[in-house]
Copies of this chain bind each other. A is one copy, B any other.
Amino acid sequence: MCQMDEIRFCLIGAGRAGLVHAKNVVHNIKQASLTAIVDSSRDVLKERGEELGVGSLYTNLDDALSEDEFDAVIVVTPTFTHRDIVVKCAEAKKHVFCEKPMAIHVRDAEEMSRAAERSGVKLQIGFMRRFDPPFLQAKEIVESGKLGEPMIIKSVGRGPGLPPPWTYDVKESNGLLGEVNSHDFDSTRWLAGGEYDRVFAEASNRKTKDLLKEHPDFYDNAVVTVRFKNGVIGTIDGTCPADYGYDARTEIVLTGGLLSIGETKGEAFFSCDKKGVIRENAHRSWKNRFKDAYLDEMRSFIRSVLEDKPTLVTGKDGQAAVAAVVAANRSIREGTPMEV
């Protein structure tokens, strides 16, 4: 591995999020190339292959692993498939970049970590907020102690568009808290610098009542209180679909001050009309809000592989977020706080 100076990637799952990673690998990162794509849909494969200039296209992961030569995989498939795919790739000695959430169940996440360890391959989870400059600034100030210790952390994660149908059964998918707010569960833990103690969640279904008949557990809004073992407390809230845009903000109250990460508005521009109404645009998509962070997390992963260093977002981080999400969903069902 020591002589490598470029990573050859196989993209597994060529949807919207997969494309973001693939484009970064193809266009924006010198030390990386994309040599193969796996997706269950032949149409998607064809389109992405042309778009990205990749000829090795597979509808089957096993074929890709046996026929093609690559060093690492980017896993961007539905969450419930992560365990099997990641374990298989790790066993085939491929380094793994796995999108969040890591898995549906904690035991799955643990199995994935173990597989990577056994094979000696790198495993990184796609919590890109950890590479976002405002989040990094906050982390640095928290760790410096300049503003004292964190007391309360509040994290918001809202997104436009309904999650995909496979998420409707919350027990099988972890729902909104898993698919959208995994980021908040991870970044809050990262900023708190401790492990979750217990969580309590309230959820409601306000915009997708038509789904309730078939999926009585489905919720599109949730608020959560969290408590960490080190005494930090906080809130996480999620809304999806939040038509107005993609909103990811965090606020930290410290013993000696306050930190504020992110803004609802997404641009340094406003107009004002005759009536004195000032207009700005909200962030509309994670692709835009975290554009640089997506690039930086991949660069970091590549560095970890090339320099044989630990990844900055480990399987353990992924597991911790899964554990908190699972506990929060159980709290919703049982109406009582849950230890994580």
Contacts and interface: CB of A to CB of B under 8 A. Distances in A.
B202 A151 contact: no
A134 interface: yes
A231 B268 CA distance: 28
A221 B152 contact: yes
Interface residues of A, number: 75
A273 to B, nearest CB: 5
B278 A279 contact: yes
A16 interface: no
Given A225-B235, A253-B158, A278-B280, A261 B269 contact: yes
Q: Quickly give the copy total for this chain.
A: 4
A168 interface: no
B134 A267 contact: yes
A176 to B, nearest CB: 12
A235 B223 CA distance: 7
Given A28-B28, A201-B225, A258 B272 contact: yes
Contacts of A276: 244-245, 281-284
Nearest to A284: B276
Contact of A264 (B28, B272, B275, B284): B272
A271 B254 CA distance: 10
B244 A264 contact: no
A221 B134 CA distance: 25
Contact of A200 (B141, B200, B222, B262): B200
A147 B242 CA distance: 12
Interface in A287-315: none
A263 B206 CA distance: 28
Contact of A278 (B30, B206, B234, B282): B282
Nearest to A336: B336
Most buried by B among A29, A149, A253, A262: A253
B207 A225 contact: no
A258 to B, nearest CB: 4
15 contacts: A26-B30, A28-B28, A134-B267, A134-B269, A147-B271, A200-B337, A204-B232, A206-B255, A224-B225, A243-B274, A258-B272, A261-B268, A272-B282, A276-B282, A337-B337
Given A152-B237, A277-B281, 17 more contacts: A133-B267, A147-B271, A154-B223, A200-B337, A202-B225, A206-B231, A243-B275, A245-B272, A256-B273, A257-B272, A265-B278, A276-B282, A277-B279, A277-B282, A278-B280, A278-B281, A279-B279
When A and B form their complex, which 6 residue pairs have the shortest distance between CB atoms, in order from nearest? Answer: A134-B269, A276-B282, A258-B272, A245-B276, A263-B268, A243-B274
